[in-house]
Amino acid sequence: MSFDPLIILSERFKQAIAAAFPDQPASRDADPLITPGRNPQLADFQSNAAMPLGKALGKPPREIASAILAKLDLTAIAEPFTDASIAGPGFINIRLSAAALAGLLGRLDTPSLGIDLPEHPHRIVVDLCGVNLAKQMHVGHLRSIIIGDALARTLTRLGHTVVRQNHVGDWGLNIAMVTAKAQAEHAAGRLSFSDLSLDDLERLYKLAQRECSADERGLAAALRWWAHPKAVAELETQVTGAREELAKAKATLVRLQAHDPETVAAWQRIADITMRACLETCARLHADVRAEHSAGESSYSEELALVVDDLARRAVAEESNGALVVRCEGIDEPCLIRKSDGGFLYATTDMAAIRRRVQKLGASRVIYCVDIRQGLHFKQIFCAAHKAGYAATPTGPALLEHAGFGMVLGEDGRPYKTRTGENIKLTDLIDEAIERAGAVVAAKSPDLPPAERARIAEVVAIAAIKYADLSNDRARDYVFSFDRMLAFEGNTGPYLLYALARTRSILRKAAEQPGGPPAPTQGAGAPLRLTEKHEKELALALLRYPGALRSVAQSLEPHRLCQYLYDLAGAFSAFYTNCPVLTAQGDATRASRLRLCALTERLLADGLNLLGIETVDRM
RNA sequence: GCGCUCGUAGCUCAGUUGGAUAGAGCGGCGGUUUCCUAAACCGCAGGUCGUGGGUUCGAAUCCCGCCGGGCGCGCCA
């Protein structure tokens, strides 16, 4: 049986509602609408079921509430009902008894912290990171890595099998351009493949982009408006040059597709350099993105023609102005899967990816952690995939979800860039955070050994970056500010690390006393005596953990877990200042409070781990 | 032009899918340390939830109009 008050109360209320109105169909699947009490003064939990039920049955809600209470037996869990139990239009207020609270908390105190395995675990693909070859990782990748990793960790924690997929942009004309450029530079003796950095590659990439983009419109305009012959000549030269470069890139793409060894070797070198840097950065961010998670666009290249033929043959796709499109009801813009020149597009690759993820990897849920501006694109390909049957599983269509995220803005409210308008490299961002965190640690904790201080600065810095990202509504833009995230005040990663460090400090001190058990087992099994207000509130906060995790898994919004952990840390801080632990009056109280500390410690650490945030013992 | 999205305290943001007197943090003012980490805790001030209508017992939340911002709209990814 569950210890989660939300679930227990929901069950009890469901039965009571059914019993109170046995002949009413509306009462059979009425949602008990149990939530934590809006106002802690009035209730620990409340049910809002009476109001909608009153509407459905045409009776006053307070009358409904009385009828529910008459059938409701919560003697083992809650304090007796009073006149105040039914309040306002028909809220039903529930106050858990101290004994019940202690009992429930005791059942949360298991190795898994009360998180039960699901009856039917899912295989879930999480698409995250999504770097491009020959490009530095910048803030545009930050959220995909951080949010995707947190979602993957949370879903894993809930007992699902998660398959991470790094959909690397490693194919297509853009990549062929930089490959061609690198080969040309190599042939000219200006470049050595053996000591090539990602910075070099990015320079080549930009150069190739520029050289391949012809100013056709400029030339047309110049001709139409009888521009100066010299200007026209310059534009003609540019356009001719660009067309040549583009032709070279296309030829390179053909050679890549034909597995030409020399071309593939150059491409592979570019991929290796990029991926090495990518995985290093992910590791610095403590995000679990490894080589085996890479499933680049190149890995689908052989499947694209098959997919397109399949869609055309089964008439899922149709021709339109020479191109092949999939039309979906409710979406005006058709989904292009083949250009009129026969080339494939990124939607083609995404269709192939859905097919593989559901059919080969066995996913019943696919989560795309990608910029929210691609919302229309995902709407299209999800619809197209369903239409094509690619998302079908034996138990019904797989759930395809776009967990889109907003942009990272600077403090001026515009996309976060350097002063010169360049993307900010993630490595620079991380370096700066660590440097700033180091300065604070040195100021606040000068007595700690330098090596430990350095470690703390690193953990705190990454926690600050990630928590700032995760604690904001995923779908919305957020303002990036070192000062705010590293101010160590309020709803920040460092605040949570600090609360956790305080729990550990108490447990450590308790363990240092002669004859005591080691820190992790302090308070283990001690009877919980929840008499003080702050003890009860801490207990209630602890019990809400499973609900918070379920909510994240359903909504794919990690900021709900952040909010929960912040509330928990706040409840602990209040407990900490008001309820002495080591110097508590009486051994029983001391043991009970130690157990509360130990539970808080485990739960905070667990929650932070799900956010992909490492912890420290002291700070 | 069509579509999506946002507008909540001076600033940065929550608001449990329609519920009680709209909450945090920062900033401002004030208080707490011979006592487990003061990177903390407590109190005060600060709001016409962009705006006008509508739906109902009840709206920041749902619907419509308007104002303002952001973004996206077949042959780039």
Instruction: Give which of A17, A39, A143, A133 is closest to A88, Cα–Cα.
Output: A39
Q: What angle do CA A30, A34, A39 make, to 5 degrees?
A: 140
C-alpha closest to that of A618 among A477, A372, A449, A465? A449
User: Residue type at A98?
Assistant: A
Residues A32 and A10: their CA atoms lie apart, in Å, by 6
In single-letter form, the type of residue at position A544 comes to: R
**Cα distance between residue A281 and residue A274, in whole Å:** 11
Q: Chain A, 275-334: which CBs lie within 7 Å of strand B?
A: 297, 320-323, 325, 332-334
**ipTM field:** 0.96
Protein-nucleic contacts, chain A 210-269 to strand B, CB < 7 Å? none
Nearest Cα residue to A34 out of A70, A75, A74: A74
List, as one string, the DSSP characters of A436-475: HHHHHHHHH-TTS-HHHHHHHHHHHHHHHHHHHHHTS-TT
Distances (CA, A) of A588 to A98, A247, A528: 15, 81, 8
**pLDDT given for residue A183 in this prediction:** 96
Gap between the Cα atoms of A366 and A126, Å rounded:
6
H-helix or E-strand spanning residue A93: strand A91-94
CA within 13 Å, CB half, A437: 26
DSSP string for A589-609: HHHHHHHHHHHHHHHHHHHHH
Number of H helices, E strands in chain A: 22, 15
* Domain A123-169+294-402, CATH: 3.40.50.620
Q: Which residue has the tokens 């009828």?
A: A67
Structure tokens at A371: 């910029």
Contact A95, A36 (CB under 8 A): no
CA distance A401 to A550: 17
Contact between residue A134 and residue A204 where contact means Cβ atoms under 8 Å apart: yes
Q: Could you report the average pLDDT of every consecutive run of 10 residues in chain A (619 residues)?
A: 88 92 82 87 91 87 92 92 89 93 94 91 97 94 97 98 98 95 95 93 93 79 83 87 90 95 97 97 98 97 97 97 94 95 96 98 98 96 97 96 95 87 93 95 93 96 96 94 86 96 96 82 90 94 94 96 96 96 94 96 98 97
Map tokens 């356009």 to a residue.
Answer: A239
Which amino acid, one-letter code, is at A245? Answer: E
Short-list A154, A175, A55, CA closest to A552 = A154
3-state secondary structure A297-359: HHHHCCCHHHHHHHHHHCCCCEEECCEEEEEECCEEEEEEEECCCCCECHHHHHHHHHHHHHH
Chain A 407..426 CB hits on strand B (< 7 A): 409, 413
Report how far residue A505's alpha carbon sits from residue A328's, in angstroms, rounded to the nearest whole number.
Answer: 59
3-state class (DSSP) for residue A200: helix
d(CA A475, CA A404): 6
- Domain residue spans of chain A: 5-96, 123-169+294-402, 173-287, 426-485, 493-610
**Distance between the alpha carbon (CA) of A477 and the C1' atom of B52, Å:** 29
SS3 content of chain A, % helix, strand, coil (to 5): 55, 10, 35
**CA end-to-end span of chain A:** 39
What is the dihedral angle through the alpha carbons of A228, A230, A234, A235, rounded to the nearest 10 degrees?
20
Instruction: Give the β-pairing of A91-94 and A392-393.
Output: unpaired
Q: If you compute the radius of gyration of chain A from its CA atoms, what whole number of angstroms results?
A: 30
Distance A112 CA to B16 C1' (A): 24
Q: What is the CATH number of domain A493-610?
A: 1.10.730.10
Q: What is the pLDDT of residue A1?
A: 62
Specify whether the backbone of A97 is left (phi greater than 0), alpha (psi in -120 to 50) or beta.
beta
Q: Is the CB of A574 under 7 A from strand B?
A: yes
Distance CA A547, CA A6 (A): 8
Query: Measured between alpha carbons, how far is A321 from A343 in angstroms, rounded to an integer?
Result: 14
Question: Are A139 and A407 contacting, i.e. CB atoms less than 8 angstroms apart?
Answer: no
Per the CB < 8 A criterion, the answer to whether A59 and A27 are in contact is no
Strand B-proximal residues of A, range 530-559, CB below 7 A, are 551, 554-555, 557, 559
CA distances to A59, A205, A296, A583, A586 from A579, rounded to whole Å, are: 47, 61, 55, 9, 13
Strands lying side by side in the sheet with A318-320: A318-320, A323-328, A331-338
* Tokens of residue A169, six digits: 């942009």
Q: Is the CB of A489 under 7 A from strand B?
A: yes
Cα(A239)–Cα(A214) distance, rounded to whole angstroms? 5
* CATH class (in words) of the domain with range A5-96: alpha beta
Query: What whole-number distance in Å separates Cα of residue A498 and Cα of residue A615?
Result: 9
The 8-class DSSP code of residue A360 comes to I
CB A158 within 8 A of CB A118: yes
Is A42 (CB) below 7 Å from strand B? yes
- Is the Cβ atom of A475 within 7 Å of strand B at any atom? yes
The gap from C-alpha A473 to its chain's centroid, in whole angstroms, comes to: 10
Helix A426-444 to helix A450-470 angle (10° resolution) is 120
Nearest nucleotide over every DNA/RNA strand to the A563 CA, judged by C1': B14
Q: Which nucleotide is nearest to A457 (CA to C1')?
A: B39
Specify the 3-state DSSP secondary structure of A429: helix
Q: Which nucleotides of B are covered by protein (CB under 7 A)?
A: 2-6, 12-17, 19-20, 24-27, 35-42, 56-58, 70-77
Q: Nearest nucleotide, C1' to the C-alpha of A36?
A: B16
Angle of the A450-470 helix axis to the A139-157 helix axis, nearest 10: 90
Written as one letter, the residue type at A437 is A
